[in-house]
């Protein structure tokens, strides 16, 4: 037992000499010594020497907080040939000498704290580190900008990647955007090279029309099952000629253009789609076979079946992105009823030269030129009736929309109804100012209470309140664009399979909001992009790179070493009651031949099972029930 | 012929019925044992035991609640070779163990005011009440037979041991606790084949559920002491649609099975709804256990931590 | 003179960290509480609590992470809450003051709360007096 003075930090309040005296009376203690600074070089050497000279088989260090020097002394102990698990450290500084003035009481407390450590140590055993092989492969779920970035970052480090995307192409929502703020880069121009790189990269395997059906296993060895829905077109043979599309008789709303126009049952979402091929929408295809007749390369196969891919990966990145909050829920704005009340992504499509209006400012209902446009921010967001949180990007893209509109329609009028304007990124404030001052976009602080169509004029009438002028305001517009809130696109099934935590909105929960923003509570499962919370493109990219880097931490090493202080089962005592299995937060306990067995990879050593077991069969290593009881006895009865 | 005595302490009569129900196998014992005292079955006086120097097998039934019972137990045990704590009351205190919640004075007052014993006190006098205890608190028996009452299973074991002892004059082991050293879950007929997790949907009384006769009680919200109870029976209650009440006591003799079950059930209860119900919701549901002492410690209260703390509080020496 | 003896189980991630933070800030509090650090309040069993009472503790304090989401091991605090709730009911039924057993959520940043809780609890136990037995 070694007691540190820590200068006067401990010794000024705690009578260290008396502590040493009392420690020598404790069961098993054959040596007790105090020293002025145990963490110093001579202090450490002292410990090592005594261990060797007296052939100690256990050490208790009573000093400052273990959070400071636990590792320091662990290395000393190991260096002297003793297991680090036969060493305990307790704070008699932060938890004692620094918080008490009564020296008698502080000394008494120090003795008791040490007695508990001595009692615990008596039951401590050495265990070898748990070494687990890691499969050097990464699964990225979601092929938007976040997924693409994570895949490329990992692949560039030499890690094979499976990129799984549920739509027929990668690219995500970013592919739908016309330009991005604040630089007004053409979204497709900066995205498609990345998409092409992903397609080209020898280490990345893209699975589109694919979803993760099941995940079992744990960090380093996740067994994944992916279901790939039939494309109906052989990717290698499709030449993108489009003959099939021309003859297809079926028309359905085009989801890439958010329903603003139609597509055929055989289609390509956008020309730069990756994989570069058409796809058959089997839900609507009538199997008339006309496309088969005209395809020059016989690339179409309407009898294609879904495939199941099974593989093992070492880590997973969730990059499932976002959807817009259903606009119809904000019923006063008539979204879904009035065609000229649209959402921000629909407006992106109108802005886009590849969109339904070829980039012309014409409104959906009658094609009337848009001269007066109203943007409403915070639709569904920051609203106790809908989403209480802020969706972060809407202020910026609304400013962008208004700016772009004014560029194309210089004599047009643009109004923005806002509650606040949040422009916190680099160049963001300046960008908004540009929209307001240079482009003359009218910003109105206030909310809109009603939107309706004037049957006679065809105007979309917006009734709102201008808070700064303190009066009602009515605008007769051609088009209204709602900045709908961002909601996560992940489905509950995947959340359950991965056993990750999500918040009440279904955003994936990170382990620690400040210090560990890309890790989930499940080791080996990371999150990036809008799946974790509303964010813009640069933030998604930064987070994806971080997630890939964290994944690489364990994938590149080839193995992970885990602290062996986990639970273990005495199979003779276990009766298979399943109570521990039912409460383990990590699903780390399974039944084997009727008795519980702990999965070394998954157990995190919390001890909930140990306290719950009705017969004491499962015990947390080095914190077993007998040890805990002895610690309590020691604290109370040592003197 | 070895001498066997069955001594009643604070009994209900169930152990007598159980032992007598062994039936014809008892006749096998008569080859080796002379029953020198067993009021249920033979007509002998307690005073006759005073003339006996050594009792070979003393079967003590029931707990100890009066001075007379205590003295008798001590006196007779002192001159017995093999002492058997027969029945849960004898081993653990049993249901009368609730007496430990009260002082002997309170018990005496109860007798005087509320029981009918006071009507006969002129004739028989009132018993002198002592702090209630199990037989095992007086001496350490060689054989312990839990059960309220002991079951066919453990009685079979017991008869075999008695015959074996009669033939070899040796016991195989010391402080033999009968029954299987496992809990009832080990071979429970209601355990699912797929060994899935238990999702305990709140706490329900038996009459509040349409009981699925094949499913585990806990999965249906019905409390069952099976996970912490020694397998002294062939799941007789459980297989007949009645959850286990724990009459067999703990799997290991020194465990506090009541406290263990309190922990196990509290941990398990509504694990899937913790975050949605939060503390208030969970507390509301847990309040449905209106009588935790009665439920968790029905048979084992005198041996429990709770009882020992109460004793300590009353200033009396802990009995263990 | 009788001094209250209180055993505290602090989880290392939250209440334990708060206690250390209180130390770093040199906040003073009642020395009646002896801390035992556990990985999670979910590790604390009713047996441990009762063992403390039986061996001379006049009060037991459990400090863990806030519900619903702060627990480092996801939901250990809920297990602790349920067990302690039930145990308090048991104590009350047996005529032992349930106030002698207290469970609090104290995050790593709440050193002030930790100090307050320790002082309050020590005062409560002082008022309730010794639990009983030869240690009193």
Q: What is the pLDDT of residues C79-122, one digit of tens each?
A: 999 999 999 999 999 999 999 999 999 998 899 999 999 999 99
The pLDDT assigned to B192 comes to 87
pLDDT tens digit string along A551-596? Answer: 999 999 989 888 999 999 999 999 999 999 999 998 899 999 999 9
A336-388 pLDDT, tens digit per residue, is 999 999 999 999 999 999 999 999 999 999 999 999 999 999 999 999 999 99
Could you identify the residue written with the tokens 């002198």?
B128
Nearest-by-CA chain C residue for A637? C55
Across-strand partners of A132? Answer: A560
CB contact under 8 A, A577 and B226: yes
Three-state DSSP class for residue B251: coil
Interface test with B, best of C67, C85, C90, C128 (most B CBs within 10 A): C90
Which of B70, B3, B66, B80 is closest to B38 using CA atoms?
A: B3
The pLDDT, as a whole number, for residue B317 is 44
Distance separating alpha carbons of residues A623 and C21, to the nearest angstrom: 25
Burial of A221 (0-12, 13-18, 19+ CB in 10 A): middle
If 0-12 CB within 10 Å is exposed, 13-18 middle and 19+ buried, where does residue A549 land? middle
Query: In Å, how far is A631's CA from the nearest CA of chain B?
Result: 17
C-contacting residues of B 259-318, CB under 8 Å?
Answer: 259-260, 262-263, 265-267, 269, 271, 274-275, 278-279, 282-283, 286-287, 289, 291-293, 296, 305-306, 308-310, 312-315
Interatomic CA distance for residues C136 and C131, integer angstroms: 7
Distance between B126 CA and the closest CA of chain C, angstroms: 27
pLDDT, position B116: 75
Q: A70, A113, A100: which is closest to A88 by C-alpha?
A: A70
For residue A608, which of B132, C80, B30 has the smallest C-alpha distance?
Answer: C80
Tell if the CB–CB gap between B296 and C87 is shorter than 8 Å: no
Packing angle, helices C76-93 and C46-54, rounded to 10: 50
H/E run at residue A398: helix A394-408
Chain A interface disruption, residue of B179, B267, B312, most A CBs within 10 A: B267
Q: Which pairing describes strands A179-180 and A315-318: parallel, antiparallel, or unpaired?
A: unpaired
When scoring B179, B181, B184, B191 by the number of chain A Cβ atoms within 10 A, the one with the most, hence best to mutate, is: B191
B5-39 pLDDT tens trace: 999 999 999 999 999 999 899 999 999 999 999 99
Whether C82 is in a domain gets the answer yes
Task: Give the closest-approach CA distance of A615 to chain C in angstroms.
Answer: 12
Domain count within chain C: 1
Please check whether residue B113 is in contact with residue B120, taking contact to mean a CB–CB distance below 8 angstroms: no
On chain B, the residues whose CB falls within 8 A of the CB of A583 are 267-268, 271
Token pair 């049957």: residue: A455
- Report DSSP letters for C60-87, one per residue: EEEEEPPTTTT-TTSSHHHHHHHHHHHH
Q: Is the sign of the CA dihedral C27, C33, C37, C40 positive or negative?
A: negative
Q: Give the C-alpha separation, A176 to A256, whole Å.
A: 7
Buried b (16+ CB within 10 A) or exposed e, A62-99: bbbbbeebbebbbebbeebebbbbbbbbbbbbbbbbbb
Residue ranges of alpha helices (H) inside B229-320 are 257-268, 274-286, 292-296, 305-314
Of C17, C36, C74, nearest to A585 by CB-CB distance is: C74
* Residue in this structure with the two tokens 């008892």, named with its chain if needed: B26
Strand partners, B6: B59
C35 occurs within a structural domain? yes
Quick check: is C88 in a domain?
yes
The shortest C-alpha distance from B177 to chain A (Å) reads 16
- Which parts of chain B have pLDDT scores under 70? 118, 316-320
Q: B312 vs C81: CB contact, 8 Å cut-off? A: no
Residue-number span of the structural domain to which C95 is assigned: 6-127
Q: Do B262 and C87 touch (CB under 8 A)?
A: yes
Q: What is the pLDDT of residue A323?
A: 97
Of B316 and A509, more confident: A509
Residue B193: predicted pLDDT: 81
Whole-number Cα distances in Å, A349 to A362, A488, A633:
11, 21, 72
Residues of C with CB under 8 A from a CB of A: 5, 7, 17, 19-20, 22-24, 26-29, 31, 34-36, 38-40, 42-45, 47-48, 51-52, 55-57, 69, 72-76, 79, 83, 135
Kindly report the CA angle at A523 between A521 and A527, in degrees rounded to 5?
65
- On whether any CB of chain C is under 8 Å from the CB of A605, the answer is yes
Contact criterion met (CB below 8 Å) for C50 and C76: no
**Which positions ≥6 away from A631 have C-beta within 8 Å?**
A116, A117, A119, A120, C36
Average pLDDT for residues A56-66, to the nearest whole number? Answer: 95
**What is chain A's alpha carbon radius of gyration, rounded to the nearest angstrom?**
32
Structure tokens given for B253 = 């003799």
**Residue C41 belongs to a domain:** yes
Q: What was the pLDDT predicted at C135?
A: 58
| pLDDT, position C133 | 66
Tens-digit pLDDT profile for residues A441-455: 999 999 999 999 999
Mutate to test the interface with C, among B102, B294, B300, B313 (most CBs of C within 10 A): B313
- Rounded CA separation A264/B163 (Å): 90
Kindly list the residues of chain C whose beta carbon comes within 8 Å of any beta carbon in chain B. 45-47, 50-51, 53-54, 67-69, 75, 78-79, 81-83, 85-87, 89-91, 93-96, 131-134
Q: Are strands A221-228 and A2-4 parallel, antiparallel or unpaired?
A: unpaired
Q: Answer whether residue C134 shows pLDDT above 80.
A: no
**Whether the Cβ atoms of residue C56 and residue C5 lie closer than 8 Å to each other:** yes
User: What is the nearest CA distance from B305 to chain C, expressed in angstroms?
Assistant: 6
- Given a contact cutoff of 8 angstroms between Cβ atoms, the answer to whether A295 and A118 are in contact is no
Write down the pLDDT at residue B294. Answer: 95
Angle B257-268/C46-54 helices, nearest 10 degrees?
140
How far is residue C98 from each of residues A544, C43, C102, C119, measured CA to CA in Å?
A: 51, 21, 8, 18
Could A605 and C39 be called an inter-chain contact, meaning their C-beta atoms sit closer than 8 Å?
yes
Residue A518 contacts residue A550 (beta carbons within 8 Å)? yes
- SS3 for A49-102 is HHHHHHCCCCEEEEECCHHHHHHHHHHHHHHCCCCHHHEEEEECHHHHHCCCCC
Q: Which residue of chain C is at minimal alpha-carbon distance from B315? A: C133
Using a CB-CB cut-off of 8 Å, the residues of chain B touching A616 are 255, 260
Chain B 263-302, residues with CB within 8 Å of chain A CB atoms = 263-264, 267-268, 271
Report whether pLDDT(C27) > 80. yes
Facing B315 at nearest CB: one of C67, C83, C132: C132
The CATH number for C122's domain is 3.40.50
**What is the tens place of the pLDDT at every residue in A205-238?**
999 999 999 998 888 999 999 999 999 999 999 9
Which residues pair with residue B82 across a beta bridge?
Answer: B57
State which residue of chain C sits closest to A100, comparing Cα positions. Answer: C28
A4-35: pLDDT as tens digits: 999 899 999 999 999 999 999 999 999 999 99
d(CA A66, CA C35): 14
A110 and A86 Cβ atoms separated by less than 8 Å = no
Q: What is the CA radius of gyration of chain C?
A: 14
Q: List the beta bridge partners of residue B122.
A: none
Place of tokens 């209106």: B290
Contact A606 C36 (CB under 8 A): no
Give A636 to chain B, closest Cα distance, Å: 15
A67 close to C (CB below 8 A): yes
Contact across the interface for A614 and B257, Cβ inside 8 Å: yes
Contacts of B257 in chain A (CB under 8 A): 614
- Paired with A280 in beta bridges are A266
Residue pair B150/B247 in contact (Cβ under 8 Å)? The answer is: no
Contact A59, A86 (CB under 8 A): yes
The fold of B2-177 is Rossmann fold (3.40.50)
Q: Name the residue facing C34 among A67, A501, A635 (closest C-beta).
A: A635
Chain C positions touching A109 (Cβ under 8 A) are 31, 34
Q: Within 10 Å of residue C39's Cβ, how many Cβ atoms?
A: 21
Q: CB–CB of A164/A151 below 8 Å?
A: no
Distance from CA of B161 to the nearest CA of A (A): 25
Query: pLDDT tens digit string along A451-497?
Result: 999 999 999 999 999 999 999 999 999 999 999 999 999 998 899 88
Nearest CB to B308; choose among C54, C67, C82: C54
User: What are the domain boundaries of chain B?
Assistant: 2-177, 183-312
Tokens of A448: 């809109």
Please answer whether residues A502 and A386 qualify as being in contact, where contact means their C-beta atoms are separated by less than 8 angstroms.
no
Cα–Cα distance for residue pair A420/A432, rounded to 1 Å: 12
Burial status of residue A455 (CB atoms within 10 A of its CB: 0-12, 13-18, 19 or more): exposed
Name which of C20, C47, C75 is nearest A94 (Cβ-Cβ): C20
> Which of the residues A615, A618, A632 would you substitute to probe the B interface, choosing the one with the greatest number of B C-beta atoms within 10 Å?
A615
Res. A616: pLDDT tops 60: yes
C61 located within any domain: yes
Scan for tokens 């627990």, then name that residue. Answer: C71
Q: In the prediction, which pLDDT does B316 show? A: 54
- In tens, the pLDDT along A232-252 reads 999 999 999 999 999 999 999
Query: For an interface test with A, which of B179, B186, B318 has the most A Cβ atoms less than 10 Å from its Cβ?
Result: B186
Distance from CA of B310 to the nearest CA of C (A): 8
For A605, name the nearest residue in chain C, comparing CA atoms only. Answer: C39
C69 to B276, B280, C13, C34, C73: CA distances (angstroms): 11, 16, 13, 27, 10
Chains contacting chain A through 3 or more C-beta pairs under 8 A: B, C
Is A583 in Cβ contact with B227 (below 8 Å)? Answer: no
């Amino acid at each position: 037992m070694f007691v540190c003075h820590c200068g006067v930090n401990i010794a000024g309040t705690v009578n260290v000499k008396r502590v040493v005296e009392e420690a020598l009376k404790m069961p098993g203690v054959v040596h007790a010594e105090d020293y002025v600074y145990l963490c110093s070089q001579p202090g450490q050497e002292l410990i090592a020497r005594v261990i060797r000279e007296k052939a100690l088989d256990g050490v208790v260090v009573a000093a400052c907080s273990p959070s400071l020097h636990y590792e320091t002394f662990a290395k000393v102990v190991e260096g002297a040939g003793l297991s680090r698990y036969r060493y305990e450290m307790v704070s008699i500084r932060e938890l004692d000498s620094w918080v008490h003035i009564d020296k008698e009481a502080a000394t008494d407390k120090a003795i008791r704290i040490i007695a508990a450590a001595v009692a615990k140590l008596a039951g401590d055993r050495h265990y070898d580190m748990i070494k687990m092989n890691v499969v050097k492969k990464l699964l990225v779920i979601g092929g938007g900008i976040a997924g693409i970035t994570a895949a490329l970052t990992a692949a560039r480090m030499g890690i094979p990647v499976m990129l799984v995307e549920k739509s027929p192409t990668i690219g995500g929502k970013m592919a739908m955007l016309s330009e991005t703020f604040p630089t007004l880069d053409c979204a497709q121009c900066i995205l498609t090279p990345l998409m092409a790189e992903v397609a080209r990269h020898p280490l990345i395997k893209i699975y589109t029309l694919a979803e993760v059906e099941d995940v079992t296993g744990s960090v380093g060895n996740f067994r994944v099952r992916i279901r790939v829905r039939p494309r109906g077109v052989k990717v290698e043979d499709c030449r993108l000629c489009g003959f099939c599309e021309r003859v297809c008789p079926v028309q359905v709303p085009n989801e890439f253009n958010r329903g603003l126009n139609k597509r055929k049952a055989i289609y390509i979402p956008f020309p730069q789609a990756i994989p570069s091929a058409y796809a058959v929408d089997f839900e609507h295809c009538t199997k008339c076979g006309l496309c088969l007749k005209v395809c020059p390369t016989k690339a179409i196969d309407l009898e294609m079946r879904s495939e199941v891919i099974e593989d093992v990966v070492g880590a997973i990145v969730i990059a499932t992105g976002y959807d817009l909050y259903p606009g119809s829920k904000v019923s006063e704005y008539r979204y879904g009823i009035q065609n000229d009340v649209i959402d921000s992504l629909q407006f992106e499509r109108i802005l886009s030269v590849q969109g339904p209006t070829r980039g012309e400012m014409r409104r959906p209902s009658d094609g009337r030129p848009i001269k007066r446009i109203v943007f409403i921010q915070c639709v569904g967001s920051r609203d106790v009736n809908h989403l209480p949180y802020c969706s972060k990007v809407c202020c910026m893209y609304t400013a962008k929309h208004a700016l772009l509109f004014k560029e194309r329609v210089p004599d047009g009028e643009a109004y923005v109804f806002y509650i606040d304007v949040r422009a916190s990124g680099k160049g963001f404030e300046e960008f908004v100012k540009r929209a307001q001052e240079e482009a003359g976009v009218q910003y109105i602080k206030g909310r809109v209470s009603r939107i309706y169509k004037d049957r006679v004029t065809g105007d979309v009438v917006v009734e709102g309140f201008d808070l700064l002028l303190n009066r009602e305001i009515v605008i007769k517009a051609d088009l209204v664009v709602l900045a709908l809130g961002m909601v996560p696109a992940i489905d509950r099934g995947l959340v359950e399979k991965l056993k990750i935590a999500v918040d009440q909105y279904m955003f994936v929960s990170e382990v620690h909001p400040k210090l560990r923003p890309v890790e989930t509570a499940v080791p080996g499962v990371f999150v990036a992009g809008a799946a974790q919370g509303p964010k813009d493109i640069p933030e998604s990219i930064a987070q994806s790179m971080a997630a890939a880097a964290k994944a690489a931490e364990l994938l590149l090493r080839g193995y992970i070493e885990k602290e062996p202080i986990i639970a273990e089962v005495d199979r003779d005592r276990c009766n298979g009651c399943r109570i521990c299995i039912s409460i383990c937060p990590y699903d780390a306990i399974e039944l084997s031949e009727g008795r519980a067995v702990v999965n070394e990879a998954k157990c995190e050593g919390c001890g909930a099972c140990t306290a719950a077991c009705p017969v004491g069969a499962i015990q947390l290593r080095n914190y077993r029930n007998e040890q805990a009881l002895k610690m309590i006895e020691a604290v109370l009865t040592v003197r | 012929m070895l001498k066997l005595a069955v001594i009643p302490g604070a009994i209900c009569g169930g152990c007598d019925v159980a032992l007598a129900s062994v039936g014809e196998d008892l006749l096998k014992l008569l080859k080796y044992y002379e029953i020198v005292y067993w009021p249920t079955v033979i007509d002998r006086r307690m005073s006759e035991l005073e003339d006996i120097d050594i009792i070979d097998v003393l079967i003590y039934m029931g707990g100890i609640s009066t001075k007379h019972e205590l003295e008798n137990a001590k006196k007779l045990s002192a001159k017995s070779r093999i002492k058997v704590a027969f029945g849960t009351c004898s081993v653990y205190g049993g249901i009368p163990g609730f007496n430990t919640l009260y002082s002997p004075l309170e018990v005496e007052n109860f007798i005087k005011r509320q029981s009918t014993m006071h009507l006969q006190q002129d004739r028989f006098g009132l018993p002198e009440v002592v702090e209630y205890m199990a037989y095992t608190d007086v001496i350490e028996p060689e054989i312990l037979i839990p059960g309220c009452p002991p079951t066919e299973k453990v009685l079979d074991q017991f008869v075999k041991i008695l015959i074996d002892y009669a033939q070899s004059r040796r016991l195989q082991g010391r402080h033999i606790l009968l029954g299987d050293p496992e809990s009832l879950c080990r071979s429970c007929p209601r355990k699912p084949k797929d060994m899935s997790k238990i999702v305990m949907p709140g706490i329900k009384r038996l009459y509040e559920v349409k009981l699925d006769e094949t499913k585990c009680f806990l999965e249906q919200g019905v409390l069952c002491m099976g996970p912490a109870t020694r397998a002294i029976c062939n799941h007789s209650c459980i297989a007949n649609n009645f959850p286990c009440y724990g009459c067999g006591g703990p799997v290991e003799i020194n465990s506090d099975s009541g406290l263990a079950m309190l922990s196990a059930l509290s941990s398990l209860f509504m694990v899937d709804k913790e975050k949605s119900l939060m503390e208030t919701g969970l507390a509301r549901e847990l309040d449905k256990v209106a009588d935790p002492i009665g439920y968790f410690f029905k048979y084992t209260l005198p041996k429990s931590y709770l009882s020992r703390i109460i004793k300590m509080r009353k200033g009396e020496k802990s009995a263990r | 003179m009788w001094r209250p003896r209180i055993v505290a189980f602090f989880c290392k991630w939250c209440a334990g960290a708060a206690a250390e933070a209180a130390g770093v800030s040199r906040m003073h509090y009642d020395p009646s509480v002896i801390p035992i650090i556990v990985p999670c309040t979910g590790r604390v069993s009713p047996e441990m609590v009762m063992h403390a009472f039986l061996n001379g503790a006049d009060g037991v304090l459990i400090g863990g992470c806030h519900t619903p989401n702060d627990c480092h091991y996801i939901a250990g605090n809920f297990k602790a809450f349920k067990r302690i709730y039930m145990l308090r009911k048991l104590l009350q039924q047996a005529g032992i003051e349930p106030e002698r057993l207290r469970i609090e959520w104290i995050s790593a940043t709440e050193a002030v709360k930790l100090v307050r809780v320790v002082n309050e609890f020590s005062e409560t136990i002082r008022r309730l007096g010794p639990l009983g037995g030869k240690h009193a």
